[in-house]
Structure 1
Amino acid sequence: MKIKSLLSLLPFVGATFALPSVSTAADTHIFVSQNTANHSLTFKQPKLCDDTVVQYSGYLDVGSDEHYFFWFFESRKDPDNAPFTIWLNGGPGCSSMIGLWQELGPCRVNDDGSKDVYNTEGSWNTVSNMLFFDQPSNVGFSYGADNVHSTEEAAPLAYNLIQVFFEAFPKYKNQKLHFFGESYGGHYIPAFADYVLKQNQGLSSSSKKVNVNLESIGVGNGLTDPLIQYQYYEKMACDSSYGSVLSDSDCKQMNASVPQCVELVKKCYKTDDTDDCSNADNFCGQNIEGVYENSGKSYYDVRTSEAIPSTYIKFLNSESTRKLIGATQSYEECSNSAGSKFASTADDVRNFAPKVADLLNNGVRVLLYAGDADYICNWYGNYAWAGQLNFTGSSDYQSKSLQGWKVDGKEVGQVQSGSNLTFVRVYEAGHEVPWYQPKAALQMFTDHLANKLQ
């Protein structure tokens, strides 16, 4: 989430393995990595939201003064053999607790934010082990030096986190791993997964590092190829299936600015120079997607001006909750300080589609999905860049077309699939697809894990 500012801007209960750790309190444990110097994990075992499964939450020390908060839930179904999914929200600078508490995690809160309840309709831990973590530092519950200024700088820390987690909890290390995220996850997920792929390829037989069993990635309403996606803002605002939300003059202004925006982004792609990319970011941000402000509608849902309730923040920030989950900081949903560091390198206008192609070329399956009411990372732009992606087998994907996608006999979207690339349009959903369509999102995820989504 936070795409708007981005573009402008003690025994182990239920455990089945021995864990080398040192208790610092009756319910707090520390694991010190033997494979990654100066890295450690401090955690508790809460029983919030879903007390039927094993949970771990706390901090992973992943770099020099970088302390990332994480929360893990085992699968309700066969956790020893279930897939392992990592979820990241976007921003840059927004917490993955958004995904956990508003979207696809087992957690919800009651209306006034005073009590946790189980997400009965759409929790992805129904079928997969789920790991949520906040990055970079000072996002969510995480804290530290905050030395990350770009997606590329963030990738090694995420890799360290995965390594230490699997070292501490080795029962999960061989499970098929799926990297999922949304929004700025269109940068994070391809970059982090491709970094994992490259690290896997470079491991020697004597290395103590885990060879991560990377199976697939999934990105919902992501920002991945700005050059193509910028060209569809005017269509989403002025000619979508939900009708226009802007005046004719605003639509004409947006449309007239597209050619210059395209040339500036092309220059950014060519030179990879921060000044060139900042120029593109500033012009396109102000003259294309920024015009949408005049609509008075949500950037995340063209149908309304209302935001999704964030009452879960009150619950997370209560002293009792923070004590239970081992959070030592107050919770901040989106960090402007973290986001501003990414803005300083014009990271948001960089192209991460080539990393998606590299993953596909190495046998990693890719799911791209988009709620069709979202403006800021709209489905038109995502479908367009997917259709223009050049990878081995792209002709197979491009030869297909969108077909009706049904859940329980009802058409809830459209799907196109070929050569390990699948695109899903989800009807009547905004930026956070699982919030709007939890049942359909869970079915999509379940079918993707089983490689049956088509």
Structure 2
Amino acid sequence: MEKMDRFGTVFLSVAYFFLLSSPRVNCSSSWIDFDYATDQQEKDRVHNLPGQPSNVNFAHYSGYVTVNKDSGRALFYWFFEAVGDPSSKPLVLWINGGPGCSSIGYGVAKEIGPFHVNPDGKTLYLNPYSWNKVANVIFLDSPIGTGFSYSNNTQDLLSNGDERTATDSLEFLKKWLERFPQYKGRDFYIVGESYAGHFVTQLVQRIVTSNIGENSINLKGFMLGNPLIDDFHGHLGVFQFMWTNGLISDETFKLLNIFCANESFEHIPPSCQKILDIATEEHGNIDEFSIFAPLCPSNVGLSNRLFKRLFSVRHVGEENDPCVDNYSTVYYNLPEVQRALHVDPAVAPSKWETCNNAVEDNWQDSAKSVLHIFRELIPSGLHIWIYSGNTDAIMPVVSTRHSIEALKLPSITPWHAWYEDGEVGGWVQGYEGLTLVTVRGAGHQVPLDKPKLALPIIKSFLSGSPMPTLSKLKDS
């Protein structure tokens, strides 16, 4: 026994010396810092995800973070380390909109995530334009009731709103950084699309006003895609876009401006909804999120709810496949997938959906504008970008340009084309404190419609570099 004790002591000493001399252990090209890794972090690590490709060279984690103990509100996340050396790359938080649409169902499964779902609904393929090529990315299902996020108090689902969402998201971020302390102090950015124009802007405001002391967050900037940031200018742009693209009649265009221009996107009165229904009938069964995209055959004939629905059909990669929502719905409802992602069956939704309409239908406080927050944040020196696909009828680039015009920012860089592979990718203009990038041929979800064009946007945003121009391409 004494000999065994001596052997054990020697063995542990050698092992400890090895760990100290090799603090990083390579595992699928990810890294674990033994000084930083927490038990819960390792519990959240995803192993054996069903249908995952064999050539994955990064680690990923998923699970819950409790943001309110009294009611048991918990937000679900899925985190992907960057390909290559994650310790040298920034941290990005991605949030989808709706409100009530899952960042797992959209951001991961169809847009910027590394895993996209195959038509069989059982297997995954690697997205060649994933944003974890340039950053460590957290995808957050927010608010509760969205995706796999939940509350033990069922009344919470009926009382979601802007203010509580911002409070919960900030609490999530603080606690997530405690779970993953190796990312404390890392350059941090927030990106979101659509109604996340509210979520992201309000969260950034909370971070800036509470960023004091040793636990401060190293926030460098935020970027919004086709965002709702002002109801009046948003409606003004939507109506102009539909009319100039021949989607609605002259009479309906006039009535929309009379009955809807000053209304909230989330609380539409019957007088406005009546005209919106007429507009929907006039433009027919098209995908309002990308007006030139085909519809999935299984969805043809379903009525569209203008402004009130964020269930859309899209392209996957460079191929025209408008049925990707169907594949994701099958995949994320598989019990073995939910087990691998550490979804608690006791709190899992009876049926996982890309968007939970009950969240939006019961939405409470919704700011009619967040432009005042932009005015507050721009002097802080944060890196602020907005990108916008130019075939989107839900929140078109026209709406964004009206909102930016209302900020009365001096122009720094004149309107000009940017390029990818020698072709125009879109157009860009630089303002004092803000950059607008448009994306040619993309709809409401730019990374889904034009993934190859979305990747240089996030690269330029994170690096603080201008979008590539034709002259730069020639020089290179």
Which deviations, in whole Å up to 9, do the C-alpha atoms of 1:342-387 show, x marking residues without a partner? Answer: 1x44x1x611121122221211111111111110111111122112
Equivalent residue number for residue 256 of structure 2: 257
Equivalent residue number for residue 440 of structure 1: 453
8 Å CA contact 1:181–1:220 kept in 2: the answer is yes
Equivalent residue number for residue 242 of structure 2: 237
Greater mean alpha carbon deviation, residues 219-228 or residues 305-314: 305-314
8 Å CA contact 2:75–2:149 kept in 1: the answer is yes
CA distance in 1, matches of 2:358, 2:84: 39
CA distance in 1, matches of 2:270, 2:369: 16
Q: 3-state DSSP class of the match of 2:417?
A: strand
Equivalent residue number for residue 366 of structure 1: 384
Equivalent residue number for residue 273 of structure 1: none
CA distance in 2, matches of 1:289, 1:230: 15
Equivalent residue number for residue 298 of structure 1: 287
Equivalent residue number for residue 166 of structure 1: 177
Which deviations, in whole Å up to 9, do the C-alpha atoms of 1:111-168 show, x marking residues without a partner? Answer: 2211011101x10000000000111112111111335521121111101111011111
C-alpha change, 1:410 and 1:156, in structure 2 (3 Å) is: same
Unaligned runs of 5+ in 2: 1-24, 296-312, 315-323, 468-476
Q: Does 1:334 align with 2:355?
A: yes
C-alpha change, 1:96 and 1:278, in structure 2 (3 Å) is: closer
1:396: how far off?
Answer: 3.3
8 Å CA contact 1:300–1:430 kept in 2: the answer is yes
1:47: how far off?
Answer: 5.6
Which amino acid is 1:254 matched to? F
8 Å CA contact 1:261–1:284 kept in 2: the answer is yes
C-alpha change, 1:110 and 1:30, in structure 2 (3 Å) is: closer
Which amino acid is 1:95 matched to? S
Equivalent residue number for residue 84 of structure 2: 77
Q: Does 1:226 align with 2:231?
A: yes
1:428: how far off?
Answer: 0.7
Equivalent residue number for residue 470 of structure 2: none
Q: Aligned match of 1:102 in 73, 94, 110?
A: 110
C-alpha change, 1:293 and 1:443, in structure 2 (3 Å) is: farther
CA distance in 1, matches of 2:37, 2:440: 48
CA distance in 1, matches of 2:188, 2:48: 24
Equivalent residue number for residue 287 of structure 1: 275
1:453: how far off?
Answer: 2.6
Equivalent residue number for residue 141 of structure 1: 148
Q: Does 1:16 align with 2:33?
A: yes
Equivalent residue number for residue 35 of structure 1: none
Q: Aligned match of 1:395 in 405, 410, 415?
A: 410
C-alpha change, 1:237 and 1:358, in structure 2 (3 Å) is: same
Q: 3-state DSSP class of the match of 1:402?
A: strand
How well do the aligned residues superpose, as a CA RMSD in angstroms? 2.4
Equivalent residue number for residue 302 of structure 2: none
Equivalent residue number for residue 405 of structure 1: 418
1:252: how far off?
Answer: 2.1
CA distance in 2, matches of 1:368, 1:21: 36
Aligned length: 396
1:339: how far off?
Answer: 1.4
1:78: how far off?
Answer: 2.4
Greater mean alpha carbon deviation, residues 137-146 or residues 156-165: 137-146
Equivalent residue number for residue 336 of structure 2: 320
Greater mean alpha carbon deviation, residues 360-369 or residues 139-148: 139-148
C-alpha change, 1:283 and 1:385, in structure 2 (3 Å) is: farther
Which deviations, in whole Å up to 9, do the C-alpha atoms of 1:220-254 show, x marking residues without a partner? Answer: 11111111111122221121xxx3123x3xx3222
Equivalent residue number for residue 34 of structure 1: none
CA distance in 2, matches of 1:415, 1:136: 32
TM-score, normalising length: structure 1 = 0.81
CA distance in 1, matches of 2:277, 2:218: 38
8 Å CA contact 1:105–1:124 kept in 2: the answer is yes
* Identity in percent: 26
CA distance in 2, matches of 1:76, 1:216: 22
Equivalent residue number for residue 309 of structure 2: none
TM-score, normalising length: structure 2 = 0.78
